[in-house]
Structure 1
Amino acid sequence: MKNFVIKTLINAVAIWVAAWIVSGITLSGDDWQSKTITVIAVALIFGVVNFLIKPVVKLFSLPLFILTLGLITFVINALMLWLTSWASDKLDLDFHVEGFWAALLGSLIISLVSWGLNLAFGDDD
């Protein structure tokens, strides 16, 4: 359970940083507290999308992994962020990704920030 909470908080910080840097990713809210609740909810949705849908997409795109030497991973990560944006819109959360290029840049930033925070605060295993 502790591992799940840490990973969710790391994803929340990474999503917040991506929304701060990328102009096509918006995270709106009335005040700091509502933005915090929104970004944690979005991080939970992002975690569920990455846990349930991403492995299926990776399985079906296995030939593209071989053909592109793994570079298709960037596109799949962008699509997972875009799907998170769609799900957030359906749940009336104030998170939106405007277009594929914003999703691609945002997914790169989220990956880098998550990687760095996982190095600092991740598992001791």
Structure 2
Amino acid sequence: MRFVVRVAVNAFAIWIVTLLPALQVRLIPFAPGEGLQVALTVLVVGLIFALVNTLIGTVVKFVAIPLYILTLGLISLVINGFLLWLTAVITENWDWGLRTGEFWLTAVAALLIGIINAVLGGLLRPRKEERSRR
């Protein structure tokens, strides 16, 4: 259930950030209706971004622990930008998906996605008393 919420939050954050010129989403051509195309495309890109963060991001962040210490955590901007760029590269193989511009604009977009994920993740996380009842 957490992964589904994470994908939905990622999709919403990517949709919000695509309003900036740094990221663009090319729509899935086979979905009926433009609203459904946008929703389906953003959900699939959010799923791919969640998988990239889970599988590759965990390894990269673990290996980069000395850089986190050396830069006082500022390397996370570069790593998150890299993971978003990697998501764009993966979806670039199809006629739809995420398109990025300059790397630093992509890093800023990844920072905004991270902020939106933190806020929405905090709001959607079950409360401690709800967890203790289970």
- TM-score by length of structure 2 reads 0.84
Of residues 27-36 and 7-16 in structure 1, the stretch that sits farther from structure 2 once superposed is 27-36
1:46-125 paired onto structure 2 within 5 Å: 46-124=49-127, 125=131
Partner of 1:25: 23
When residues 3 and 43 of structure 1 are mapped into structure 2, their CA distance, relative to the original with a 3 A threshold, is same
Distance between the aligned counterparts of 1:94 and 1:3, measured in 2? 24
Which stretches in structure 2 are left out of the alignment for 5+ residues?
none
Q: What SS does structure 2 have at the residue aligned with 1:90?
A: coil
SS of 2:24's equivalent in the other structure is: strand
**Is the 8 Å Cα contact of residues 11 and 46 (structure 2) preserved in structure 1?**
yes
Alignment length (residue pairs): 123
Relative to structure 1, is the Cα distance of residues 119 and 59 closer, same or farther in structure 2, using a 3 angstrom cutoff? closer
Unmatched 5+ residue regions in structure 1? none
Match of 2:11 in 1: 12
User: What do residues 49-96 of structure 1 show as CA deviations (whole Å, max 9, x unaligned)?
Assistant: 001111211222222111101110111001000000101112432321
Q: Identical aligned pairs, as a percentage?
A: 34
Higher relative contact order (CA 8 A, sep 6+): 1
CA RMSD between the two structures: 1.5
The CA distance in 1 between the partners of 2:110 and 2:55, in whole Å, is 17
Give the Cα separation in 1 of the matches to 2:39 and 2:54. Answer: 22
Q: Which has the larger radius of gyration?
A: 2
Structure 1 stretches (4+) deviating beyond 6 angstroms? none
